[in-house]
Amino acid sequence: MTASELRIEPLDRHHVRERFDCGVQPLDNFLRALVSQYEKRNLGRTYVAVRDDDPQVLGYYTISSGAIAFETLPPEGAKKLPRHPVPVVLIARLAVDLSAQGQRLGEKLLIDALARSVDLSEKLGIHAVVVDAIDEKAKAFYEKYRFMELQDGKLHLYLPVATIAAAFPRS
């Protein structure tokens, strides 16, 4: 799958979601049955990967706003921050259809989510991007991109926006 064939765009009605199968039932079910309600109620925004002129969803991620308790930050992450909830972007879900796995689509989706988070941080206060990894395999995926554990659970990870912005310098 080349970059020219792939687009990541906001989810809308024309996207085909019914056949999406990433092999993880809760992630499949969210896209097939629940995502429209989340969008309508402003609980999250979902972005999908599709090939040119094909509305079949190959992968997706959902982001929303949130906050984490100051106490969940590791000591080195808490330096110079006030002791109150820390504003974050939450990557609530990220999944790739079985037909597109092994083609680095998960990485493309994550990079898109991170770049979008940096853009958002220029408009409102966001200190980090947070994810609740679904399992150890997902945790290992996020750790490749420098996500670090929070103090309240081995699968609760974060990445400071400053770290992301340094990786995506603006021209």
- Residues 129/161, Cβ–Cβ less than 8 Å: yes
- Residues 147/170, Cβ–Cβ less than 8 Å: no
* Catalytic member of 47, 60, 61, 142: 142
Q: Is 142 a catalytic residue?
A: yes
Buried b (16+ CB within 10 A) or exposed e, 14-35: ebebeebebeeeebbebbeeeb
The rounded distance, in Å, linking the Cα atoms of 115 and 161 is: 10
Contacting residues for 158 by C-beta, under 8 A, at least 6 apart:
68, 73, 77, 88, 128, 129, 130, 131, 147, 148, 150
Annotated active-site positions, please?
142
